[in-house]
Structure 1
Amino acid sequence: MKDLIKQVIEDEAQAIRNIPVSDGMITAIELIYERVHQRKGKLVTSGMGKAGQIALNYATTFSSTGTPAVFLHPSESQHGDLGVLQENDVLLVISNSGKTREIIELIDLAENLHEGLPLIVISSNPDGVLAQNADAFIFTGNPKEVCLLGLSPTTSTTVMTVIGDALVVSMMKKIGFTNEEYAKRHHGGYLGDKSRMQAKTDKK
């Protein structure tokens, strides 16, 4: 069993190392910066199932690091939640297959509400419907799932998480995000205390 565990860790680590660093990532960062930090819109993330959980993590991490973001559930969007979208926003969707029905429907509805809303797509399928409609496409590298059945989202969600971290850290660098600004957004707990202490150190 230990050998299996070691192999899973090694396979996922290799999948991370194989993530293509593409122009799509740079375009995505520029789109988020323009829409959120220049036009004062927000980042709206979405995904279905496990990808949706990753998209929610994107939204909370971006928000805590100076880039306002919200998660929009693709199914709930058809029951009124689509109204969270505003004309200066940017939509980021995650779909491993690149053809998730609920996500395809979401981008159609978003286009009908605000024509020309920029779309960032993270997917393992560069030939999918979503990739073809993207203003910025980020390829995951299409890693093989470590799930013994090859079905359950495992390796794919790992690389999606790392891609999100890369986007977040890049945006923090671009906007010059500081400990002081972090503390304003994260008051409670250990991280709140640590950010305030580091902010005091920065001022010395």
Structure 2
Amino acid sequence: MNFNERIQDILHKEAQAILDIPVSDQFEKAVNLIVEQVHQKGGKLVTSGMGKAGQIAMNIATTFCSTGIPAVFLHPSEAQHGDLGILQKNDLMLVISNSGKTREILELLQLASTLMPELKFIVITGNNQSELAQRADVCLFTGAPGEVCPLGLTPTTSTTLMTVIGDILVVGAMEATHFDVHQYALRHHGGYLGTRSREQSQKKD
């Protein structure tokens, strides 16, 4: 297999893994929970993950912020040194762990639940039988495909699916809250997206 053929193989495997994400009512439940806690009750979405999953969680938080859902990233280790204080009434947590066994994430859930017993959790994981999945109010299962990494170890396919699931939640929340281009423009004052959104908003006006 030459390099171009290998690229096509990787693209096919990643695309198929996305198409194989199990679609269930858990996605609708997750979107409804985000809309209820954040948009309606005035809380915020707090995302968390460790390592590569943490980078995805951070990206999901910033994307939600730009589309009308206030969100912040909470590092699970820093949470144990005071940052847990970011949690407030009506907040909602979205945590990511491919294995569902990440020690820091499990500890975070315990600490957060002790601080705020009413706090709800959305979990994105590749292990829907894990302790993390069992403790979730909503569990979004990636389908647990193999990684395209030749060692089968490096987070590649798994992080792609985490990102896609985050996109599903963002788009679902945008549609549920009727987030429009005018609201988008108000949050984007600079750069290409800012200019484009303002132009589209002015056309609608």
TM-score, normalised via structure 1 length: 0.98
Q: Secondary structure at the match of 1:197?
A: helix
Let me know the Cα RMSD of the aligned residues: 0.6
Q: How does 1:73-112 map to 2 (within 5 A)?
A: 73-112=75-114
TM-superposed CA distance for 1:21, in Å, is: 1.3
The one-letter code of the counterpart of 2:4 is K
* Residue of structure 1 in register with 2:35 after alignment: 33
Q: Which amino acid aligns with 2:97?
A: S
Q: How far 1:5 sits from its partner (Å)?
A: 1.1
Partner of 2:117: 115
Q: Secondary structure at the match of 2:123?
A: strand
Q: Which amino acid aligns with 1:179?
A: V
Aligned to 1:135: 137
Cα deviation digits, residues 147-180 of structure 1 (max 9, x gap): 0000000000001101111110111000011111
Alpha-carbon distance in 2 for matches of 1:70, 1:92: 10
Query: Partners of 1:166 and 1:94 in 2: how far apart?
Result: 15
Q: Deviations over 1:17-41 (max 9, x none)?
A: 1011111111111111111011100
**SS in structure 2 at match of 1:130:** helix
**Stretches (4+) displaced over 6 A:** none
For residues 201 and 14 of structure 2, the distance between their equivalents in structure 1, rounded to whole angstroms, comes to 35
Q: TM-score, normalised by structure 2?
A: 0.98
Q: Could you tell me which residue of structure 2 aligns to residue 17 of structure 1?
A: 19
Count residues with an aligned counterpart.
203
Indicate the residue corresponding to 1:169 in structure 2: 171
Match of 1:189 among 184, 188, 191: 191
Q: Structure 2 unaligned runs (5+)?
A: none
Q: Is the partner of 2:129 in helix, strand or coil?
A: coil
Matched, 1:44 2:73: no
Please, which runs of 5 or more residues in structure 1 have no aligned partner? none
CA distance in 2, matches of 1:202, 1:153: 42
The code of the aligned residue for 1:114 comes to M
> Which whole-Å CA distance do the structure 2 matches of 1:166 and 1:34 have between them?
17
Residue 87 of structure 1 and its aligned partner are, at CA, apart by 2.1
